[in-house]
Amino acid sequence: MVITSAHEPDREARSPWSQHHVEQKVRLSRMQGRLDRTISIPGSKSFTNRALLIAALGRGTTVLRGVLQSDDSYWCMKALRALGVVIEDEGEHVTIHGNAGKWAVADASLYVGAAGTVARFLPAVLAVGKGEWLIEGSRRMGERPLTALLDALTGLGAVIQYGANPGSVPFTLLADGLNGGEVAISGAVSSQFISGLLLAAPYAKEALSIRIDGEVVQRDYVEMTLDMMRAFGAKMEVQEDGQVITVRPGVYEARSLCLEPDVSTCGYFWALAALTNGRIRIEGISAQTRQPDIALLQVLEQMGCTITSGADFVEVQGTDNLKGGFTVSMQRWSDQTLTLAALAPFADGPITLIDAAHIRHHECDRIAAICQELRKLGIEVEEHADGLTVHPGQPQPALLDPHDDHRMAMALSLIGARVDGVQMMDPGCVSKTCPDFYERWRDLGVGVDFDYA
């Protein structure tokens, strides 16, 4: 019997770095033995795609270590190569020969896959050059918002010609350099609009002053962008409590950089220790990272786990009595909303996650999707406009649909590590950020069996 997913995956968006193309589902069974391990996690998606784009715009040869190999970074590298940038990649070690702000190919079709960091960053960095580019993306990317960024680019001289979806991909970008001056942009739906504009800003014809309208969701990602720009020599002034950022004209200078592990991915492994009363130490990361999802540790501590960290590791020791009965704002680190929602049934009181309305615009409508899947497991859930409340309960066997969303699959697989009978359709969807997630799960003692038909 062929199992069809209610949310048919967009397979075109899976890159050659993805795995499990033919597997229809994965059957999980609960962890055998006691989890007591030290592991490492691949590089951060957010650092990888920022570093690749900045290095491509830079002067000279940049060498990166710790580069993530997943769909999101694949589409970023592929687009840059289509623009004439020479990139040598040997696993997590990547060398980029920068173009100093001049795209060699002035007319190309560029595919961004399902990667928000490519869809929102690439148009801005293209707009500093001269050319005409068609930007296409996955089916879901055609529903994800882009207007705030594209309107700002239009205000700075770019011309956008939309296709079937006004305000999103596909569209054609006609550019002849980015004007300087002042521009206002909102980060209320996605911080990535601001990051995209910032990445391009040093290459504007004059200093560019970006005024952020109102609050920004996941603000730390904007700070991460500024940090990375500074690391490559960009100069800027930040005023009015971060709401106005003036970037001076300049060129990124090539450099060598070692990228941090992806803390959003680390979250599933720390949560696994929390859930199974095990111990996981992740090497190569410090609790002082700029990656916002590190805030998960505070909540795990509040739930009764013990956190130990040093300059180069973070360790979680789980508990056999996870505490619930609290509300958390997910505004700044909303990629972990699904992780917490998956832990919540095992806590001793309800957990409410709020301030995350923007995740309805991520890889799927994550609030609706997680409520739907938790209910299939027999868990009582209340859906709110900006989040959800999950009640304690004993999950029942169920076949789950990840809605073509890597984080849905990885988070819900936590439940399969604790109770038998959880099955997940389309296990290959994890390749957006962690192609070998299920191999890692199996290596830690969770039962993982793939079904091919």
Ligand X SMILES: O=C(O)C1=C[C@@H](OP(=O)(O)O)[C@@H](O)[C@H](O)C1
Active-site residue list? 335
* One-letter identity of residue 226: L
Residue 192 among known ligand-binding residues? yes
Using alpha carbons only, how large is the chain's radius of gyration in Å? 21
Q: Tell me: does residue 218 bind ligand X (CB under 6 A).
A: yes
Residues in the chain: 453
Residue 219 among known ligand-binding residues? no
Quote the least distance from Cβ 286 to ligand PEP, whole Å: 22
Of residues 148 and 398, the one with the C-beta less far from ligand PEP: 148
Residue 116 among known ligand-binding residues? yes
What's the rounded Cα separation, in Å, for the pair 212 and 219? 11
- Evaluate whether 347 touches 321 at the Cβ level (below 8 Å): no
Helix (H, G, I), strand (E, B) or coil at 449: strand
Residue choice 24, 192, 337, 339 for contact with ligand X (CB under 6 A)? 192
What's the rounded Cα separation, in Å, for the pair 115 and 103? 21
**DSSP one-letter string for 187-217:** -SS-THHHHHHHHHGGGSSS-EEEEEES--T
What are the residues whose beta carbons fall under 8 Å from the beta carbon of 90, sequence distance 6 or more?
A: none
Q: What is the signed CA dihedral for 59, 61, 62, 67, rounded to 10 degrees?
A: 130
The one-character DSSP state at 360 is: G
Residue 102 among known ligand-binding residues? no
Residue choice 103, 203, 221, 441 for contact with ligand X (CB under 6 A)? 221
What's the rounded Cα separation, in Å, for the pair 422 and 440? 17
- Report the candidate in 67, 15, 23, 37 with the shortest Cα–Cα distance to residue 441: 37
Binding mask 356-395 for ligand PEP (x = CB under 6 A): ------x---------------------------------
* One-letter identity of residue 368: A
HSE-CB of 389 using CA atoms within 13 angstroms: 8
Of residues 280 and 410, the one with the C-beta less far from ligand PEP: 410
Q: Which does 218 bind (CB under 5 to 8 A by kind): ligand PEP, ligand X, none?
A: ligand X
Residue 20 among known ligand-binding residues? no
Q: Tell me: does residue 71 bind ligand PEP (CB under 6 A).
A: no
Residue 384 among known ligand-binding residues? no
* One-letter identity of residue 287: A
Q: Which does 191 bind (CB under 5 to 8 A by kind): ligand X, ligand PEP, none?
A: ligand X
Kindly identify the residues of this chain, within the stretch 305-344, that bind ligand PEP according to CB under 6 A.
335
Q: Tell me: does residue 407 bind ligand PEP (CB under 6 A).
A: yes
Residue 46 among known ligand-binding residues? yes
Binding mask 145-184 for ligand X (x = CB under 6 A): ----------------------------------------
Binding mask 70-109 for ligand X (x = CB under 6 A): ----------------------------------------
Partners of 43 in the β-ladder:
261
What's the rounded Cα separation, in Å, for the pair 145 and 47? 22
Quote the least distance from Cβ 198 to ligand X, whole Å: 10
Q: Give the helix/strand (H/E) hosting 369.
A: helix 366-376
Give residue for tokens 């989040």: 387
| Number of chain positions touching ligand PEP (CB under 6 A) | 7
Kindly identify the residues of this chain, within the stretch 81-120, that bind ligand PEP according to CB under 6 A.
115-117
Q: Tell me: does residue 116 bind ligand X (CB under 6 A).
A: yes
Q: Which does 73 bind (CB under 5 to 8 A by kind): ligand X, ligand PEP, none?
A: none
Of residues 127 and 146, the one with the C-beta less far from ligand PEP: 146
The one-character DSSP state at 293 is: G
Q: Give the helix/strand (H/E) hosting 54.
A: helix 45-57
Residue 45 among known ligand-binding residues? yes
Kindly identify the residues of this chain, within the stretch 425-444, that bind ligand PEP according to CB under 6 A.
433
Q: Which does 440 bind (CB under 5 to 8 A by kind): ligand PEP, ligand X, none?
A: none
**DSSP one-letter string for 133-191:** EEEE--TGGGGS--HHHHHHHHHTT-EEEE-SSTTSSSEEEEEE----EEEEEE-SS-T
Quote the least distance from Cβ 436 to ligand X, whole Å: 19
Residue choice 335, 401, 404, 426 for contact with ligand X (CB under 6 A)? 335
Residue choice 358, 366, 418, 440 for contact with ligand X (CB under 6 A)? 358
Residues that bind ligand X (CB under 6 A): 46, 116-117, 190-192, 195, 217-218, 221, 335, 358
Residues that bind ligand PEP (CB under 6 A): 115-117, 335, 362, 407, 433
Residues annotated in a binding site: 45-46, 50, 116, 144, 190-192, 335, 362, 366, 407, 432
